[in-house]
Amino acid sequence: MTATLIKGTEIREQILEEITEEVKQIKEKHGVVPGLVTILVGENPASISYVTLKIKTAHRVGFKEIQDSQSVDISEADLLALIDKYNKDDSINGILVQLPLPKHIDEKKVLNAIDPDKDVDGFHPVNVGRLMIGGKEVKFPPCTPFGIQEMIVRAGVETSGAEVVVVGRSNIVGKPIANMMVQKGPGANATVTIVHTRTKDLAAHCKRADILIVAAGVPDLVKPEWIKPGACVIDVGVNRVGEKVSEKTGKKVAILKGDVDFDAAKEIAGYITPVPGGVGPMTITMLMLNTLKSLKFKLGLM
Ligand code: NAP
């Protein structure tokens, strides 16, 4: 059997088109568009490339986008004042602070200063709490887990009553996706197990999974014999395992591998996400959706 590929690159295009259409309609009816500000401190090349991609995507879907670049030696007080300014700015619906921040700044203090109703990353403790309560309380699910759930739903995989096993318990992927899949409601209603490095028999848990979500950061951790035939396998892992010369640009690029032995697993699974091109493209896409949702909450459309 060869699994159906769940391609994040394709789902991203569908969702971005849907967002663009909705932004147009809201603009026509209400005269406003979602506003997203990205605050970048310093000149870390990886951060610059993430922020550039976020801004480019926001522009593509018709948002108002601001890239606010600050010097690496901005004081914590000045950064907090900047966040306060955007918290009070009516034209801004989403505030992102690109991490990591320089060592003299307390990241937690900065992230917690963002108005929870503009925290489109979904990491503010208020939004973590809302996610835990579930249902109508939820405003902004964190973007990677939100993308994972969306992929499962759009692939047409039944989640109600499914055995979901999540490998990894991080605050950005493992714990939130487990929490989301166990909630009452569409795209959820699953029976969820979280496994980690202290789990006694990782293989035995994985073998029970109708939906196996792997976010460990260990290349090829999940062996093909751990996969239940026909299961849906979501590989969140992005591991750099070497370098190659890109055919397109002639430049050196990283060779990326997931946490699942893809070539063997695709012969057993019913659905599988590739790496790259699977979960990766979904994160920024869901950031755009959260920013649109933020404006819709404000306008009373949700
Ligand atoms: P993390 O914070 O390092 O957490 C990894 C989790 O996996 C931990 O809970 C750890 O268990 C568990 N784990 C590690 N090795 C294991 C093993 N051998 N057996 C069982 N459990 C094991 O990582 P993360 O931030 O969640 O990210 C996980 C992976 O997803 C990384 O490759 C990351 O690059 C990728 N990622 C991709 C996206 C995206 O595509 N957009 C977004 C976020 C993350 P303990 O808690 O016991 O240590």
Q: pLDDT tens for residues 24-49?
A: 999 999 999 999 999 999 999 999 99
What DSSP character marks residue 98?
P
The whole-number pLDDT of residue 1 equals: 62
Residue to substitute in 172, 173, 262, 284 for testing ligand 1 pocket (most ligand atoms within 8 angstroms of CB): 173
- Indicate the average pLDDT of the chain: 97
Closest atom of ligand 1 relative to the 258 alpha carbon: 32
- Name the residues annotated as catalytic: 54, 98, 121
Mean pLDDT, residues 93-111: 97
C-beta of 239 in contact with ligand 1 (< 6 A): yes
Residue 15 pLDDT more than 80? yes
Closest atom of ligand 1 relative to the 143 alpha carbon: 41
Closest atom of ligand 1 relative to the 280 alpha carbon: 40
Mean pLDDT, residues 59-86: 98
C-beta of 237 in contact with ligand 1 (< 6 A): yes
Range scoring the smallest mean pLDDT among 111-115, 136-140, 251-255: 251-255
The whole-number pLDDT of residue 143 equals: 98
**Nearest CA, atom 47, ligand 1:** 197
Is 97 within 8 Å of 83 (Cβ atoms)? yes
The whole-number pLDDT of residue 81 equals: 98
Which two tokens mark 284? 């920024």
C-beta of 280 in contact with ligand 1 (< 6 A): yes
Residue 248 pLDDT more than 90? no
Q: Quick one: what percent of the chain has pLDDT higher than 70?
A: 100
The whole-number pLDDT of residue 153 equals: 98
Residue to substitute in 9, 196, 213 for testing ligand 1 pocket (most ligand atoms within 8 angstroms of CB): 196
Residue 12 pLDDT more than 80? yes
Cα torsion for 85, 90, 94, 100, to the nearest 10°?
A: -10
Residue to substitute in 238, 256, 275 for testing ligand 1 pocket (most ligand atoms within 8 angstroms of CB): 238
Please give the order of strands across the beta sheet that includes 163-167.
Answer: 4-5, 271-272, 232-235, 211-214, 163-167, 191-195
Mean pLDDT, residues 153-171: 98
CA of 300 to the centre of ligand 1 (A): 37
Cα gap 277→279, rounded to integer Å: 7
Residue 113 pLDDT more than 70? yes
The whole-number pLDDT of residue 236 equals: 98
CA of 58 to the centre of ligand 1 (A): 28
C-beta of 178 in contact with ligand 1 (< 6 A): no
Residue 114 pLDDT more than 70? yes
C-beta of 170 in contact with ligand 1 (< 6 A): yes
Cα gap 260→264, rounded to integer Å: 9
